[in-house]
Every structure is written in C-alpha cells, then in structure tokens.
Chain A
Amino acid sequence: MSRVAVLKGGRSLERQVSLRSGARVEDALERLGHEVVSIDVGVDLISQLRESAPEVAFVALHGGDGEDGTVQELLEILGIPYTGSGVLACSRAVDKVLTKHLLLEAGIPTPDFFAFNQTAFGELGAAKALPAIEKRLHFPIVVKPSSQGSALGIKFAGTPEDVPAALVAAFSYDGKVLLERHIEGRDLAVSVLDPEPGEAGGPQALPVVEAVPLGENFYDFEARYEIGRTSFVCPAELPDEVTERAQELALATYGLLGCRGFGRVDLMLDASGELHVLEANPIPGLTETSLLPQAAEAAGIGFDQLVGRILSAPGGSR
C-alpha cells in the first residue's frame, strides 16, 4: 500500500468544497489500506511534502492554484506523481476562453461568445463594441469570469442595461471575462474516467447527470452543493441518441484538453435537442452531493473503487 498525500483546502473560493472532497477521499483511501497524509494547502506546502515524502499526491483541490496547474507544476518539480490532469490540461481547462476557442477549432459546439480583458475596456475603448456584441449574441446573455471554477461572479444579463454591472461583478474575480449566449434548456454533466491500468480501451464516459432546480430555488452556486435544493437525476432521462451524443462530446472535450485520470464536462441541451459544451472541470467535486461520484455509482463504481481507480490511473503530464 502507498503513502498518499491528500492535497485539499487551499486558498481558492472553493476551499469549503475542497475540504469536503478531501475528507471523503481520505476516508476512502484509509478503507483501501493506504497511509494518508492530509495537507491543507498553504505557504508550507513544499516543506510538508518534503517532510511526509508521499509516494503519490491525490489532488483534491478545486479552483485557484489547485486546478490551474500551479500545484501540479510544483509536484512535477518535486518529482511526486499525482492524480488527475497535468499542468497543460489544467491551464487549458481553467481558462474558459481558451477552452472555448479550442472547442470551436475542433468543431465541438459551444455557445457563441466574446471575451475581454479588463485592459480592453480601460485602454482600447472596448465599451464602444458592446452594442455590436449584444446584437450578435441576443439577450439574455451570461457574463462570466474566465477562470472562476465555481458559479461565483457569473451573472445573467437580461437587457443591455444589465451588462455593465454584470461585467464589473465578473471582473471582481478575474482580469478576463466572457459574454456568452445563454442557452435555455437542461443542465447536463458528463464525467469521464480513465480505464483501470491494464484495461483495454480509452477513457470511459459515465452516465449523464441532470441537475434540476427544486421548486422556487433557482439553480445557484449554493444549491449545487446542498442536499434538498437541487435534485440530481442520474442517469438523466434522455433519448438514447442524446445520451450517446453528450458522452461523445464529453470524451472529445476531455481528449482535446489533454485531461488525465478523471474530469467532468458540463453541457446544455437546448429546446431543439442540440447539445452545447460549456466548460470542463479537471478536478470535479468529490463531495456527498457532487456529480462525478453519483455518475460513477450509476455505472456500478462505488466511491472507494472510484478513488482507487483515480489513484491508480497515470496522472500528470506524462
């Protein structure tokens, strides 16, 4: 059995979720017979890793340094093998704008969008282009910080008057934001797992999860992690061809970004039955209410088995 360092917490805005993911992973690793070193990622990360000398690091960080490749880079420098995607895949996935450009280039459908740096408005007079953008995207539009992994800072603009305040909010989280056409429809998520070592074949798309807001509780950041405020349907009730198409798009996105080990791709299904990829998460949540563990279970993979599989899949950039 191995000595496994579980990296969790950190200083990102998703710290709370990460602590919960990390705690569950630790329990599972112990049940699997591993020796667990628990690390709340902070300024002493390097010394903690050197001191505990783990054989492998399980990265259970969400958002910020843990999901943008920074922590992965440090692990590469220290020569510690780690779970999940490597530096390059993380850098691509954390940047929604870059992800969307790659999707477009690969012919994977993603909602129309325009992206801006704060300097574009400050120094290049981009505000004058807003009316043209609004005309092309049609209202309502969604304004998002490019790199924020959670729903914080994501605003819905119903009219041109809403756009400036939505941009100010999104720029609170990142120097780059995108304005995206809003797709009315159903929220789907497809998780992807690499095969067990020695197993034939490529990455496996798990059953589709649909997130359905409950009652009057609109679908928001808080609800996503709370039992009783959003209901998750897995497998989602979809025509077979839509399920297959969603899984196909998720696998294509996962491969395009170069993800390893595991990941989750979020999509929208519009009224005409078309699917649109919104974003990919290289380290999706592993909490009680997260989507990946639910999807794994629907595929007959229990949580301990899921954690064991993520641990044994070759991660990183190699």
Chain B
Amino acid sequence: MSEFLMPSLGADMDAGTLVEWLKRPGDAVKHGDIIAVVETQKGAIEIECFEDGVFERSLIELGVKVPVGTPLAFIRTAGAGAAAAPTPSPSPAAAARPAAPAAAAVPVTAAPIAAPSGEVRASPAARRLAGERGIDLAGIAGTGPGGAIVSADIERAAAARPTAAIAKPARRAGLDLGEMRKAIAAAMARSKREIPHYYLSHTIDFGAALGWLADVNAQREPNTRILAAAVQLKAVALALKAYPEFNGFHDGTAFVPGSGIHLGTAIAIRGGGLAAPAIRDTDRLGLDDLMVALRDLVARTRAGRLRSSELSDATITVSNLGERGVEALYGVIYPPQVALVGFGTPAPQPRVLTAPDGTMQIVARPAFTATLAADHRVSDGHRGALFLMEIERLLQKPEAL
C-alpha cells in the first residue's frame, strides 16, 4: 500500500486543491496514468500516478486545499494486501518535499490586509473566491478584522443568491492569472535571492536555419510546417549533451544532473502570466515530433490543462521572444534549475564576413541574440560561452537537427 501525495509541481507551489478524481476505488492504475485533477496557481493540473496498483480509496474531500505532501489517496501496489492500509498521516507537513524551503512558500490564506482608502478591503482568498463565484465585492459587508471581507462572507453571499442568478465565473476555466502571478513572484524572488546569476550574450547568424526551413516548409501543408522556435529548441537540447552542467538542478548544496534533457519551454499566456512546461527528451525528438509536442503544449498551457510531470520535470528553461519582441532577453533562472537560455527576436543585422582570402565585408544577415543566465555555483562564464557557441554551431547545419 502506498500513499498518493499532493505533488510539488515546482519551487513556486506549496498547496493545491483536489478538484476531480479520474479513478474510482477498485480501478487499476499504472505508472503514468492521470488519476486526479488538482487546481494550482498554474491552473488545473492533471496529476499522474507513479506506481502500478489499484486505487484503494480517497483520503480527502474534493474542493479541499491541502499542502504539498499531503496524502490524497491510498494506492494498493502489486503484492500488498488490502488489509495493510495504514491510517492517514496526521502530519502532512512531515511528508512535504525537503527541497522546497519555507522561503519559497506563498501564503495561501493570508490575513486580510488594509486596502488603500476607497477600495474594498478583502483577503486575497476572498477576492479569489469572489472571482470564481462571480460575486461583486462592493456589495458585501465584511465580518473579518476591521470589516474586511473574508472567504466566509463570499460563501454566504453566494449561498444567498437565487441559483439562476449565479454569474459565469469571471475567469477562464482552470486558469487564474492573479494566482499565477503570485506563483511567478514567489519563484522569481527565490531565484534572485538564492542563485548567483551570471549572464552571457551572443549574436547568432540565423540565415542558414531560416533558409533551410523556408525550403522545407514550402513543400509542406500548414499542419506539418516547422517553426523556427522548434529548430532553436532542438539546437539547445543537442548542445546540452556536450555541456551537461547547464542541465539539471541545484539542491541547495550541490548540482544534481538532470536524468534526461527536458527543455522547459516558456509559454506566454494572453493577458499576462506564463508557464514553462517540459518537453521530455527534447534531444531525442525529431523536428516533426518536437513541433507536435510544442503545439500541444502551447494549447494546453493556454487552456490551463497541463500534466504534473510537465511542470516538475524541466531540467533547463528556454525563453523565446519570437517574432514580435526585442533584441535580447536576460532571464531569471527557474529554481531549482541552474540555467535559462533566452532568444531575442530574429532580425536582419549587419554582420562582418571574412572571405577565405582574408578580405572582410559587411552584409545584412538574419540573426538573433542568444543569452544565457546561469548559476555561478555550478558553472563559470567560460563554459557558458562555449555552450552558446555550440548552439550557434548546431544552427549552422539545420539539416542535421
């Protein structure tokens, strides 16, 4: 018998709300099955099971928010008897992952805070609940300290409304951008507090890759065309094979290499917010498969429907400004990762080319700026520079990607 715990989906998660079981008592489960949906600051996340066995029973009610590490269910694993079910652990905190220091915790039920005059005073939890239930805070009398509106006031107001009058939730299903902002804030503040970043920048000629891509895509229908971003991701993944010190985690005392090359791909969400879910084994995917994975990931990130492993597996992050942006992006490392590769917007740039006979000339070439933000506890600028140059080298032979 084993306990299925509320997973930690990154440095910025301290709790989650169980919203749905996809398995029922008695159902067989196997490694990789999606067995629950948990609402987090990053949206509704599909939680995978990492064991083979039988879903025995749920330990908490739907809709309850619990800390990371709290047992959610019993899974009867192969060979274990049903009678061996232990009693639920009374101390969820003890089961929490030690890798998540308290400093990264985001207050989930923060005390009501004083608002600037003229604004409604309400606790963050109450504001969130009001948003979910479509309730206007202005019409509610608060019963919290100083007359602040607390969650219970929202529940009362929601219960008092005629059913037919309940408005549509004021947010997208599975995605609360306010909560996501808090998660980003916690992770980035921790990063800047704990990680001694160093930064490198290098302009890379994109002519060969874009020319090759134009030829390839001219032969293809839209649904199988490849984006430049996929080519750049693949180059990073292959370069990491030669520079593994940028691929992995820092556990507080030492570097732990990643078990594979799983690129976290920063995906912006319209209206604000972003997530950087992982594409597993990016180095082993062909460009077509990488493109399929990327398209799927972008769609599910924006719909607020990612899987737990996608949020916890990334071994490095790549942030790409794409076609509409500026020259360079200097990233903040997503802890406990140790590096972030940033790509600026490609544009024609003056480049000095040297002919075999030594003569030089200035030509306009498509180019973009690649940057590296890396953890100085793990690597030095010299290796970082070689890593960026390896990405450049790989992009000059796009057909080999």
Chains A and B bind each other: no
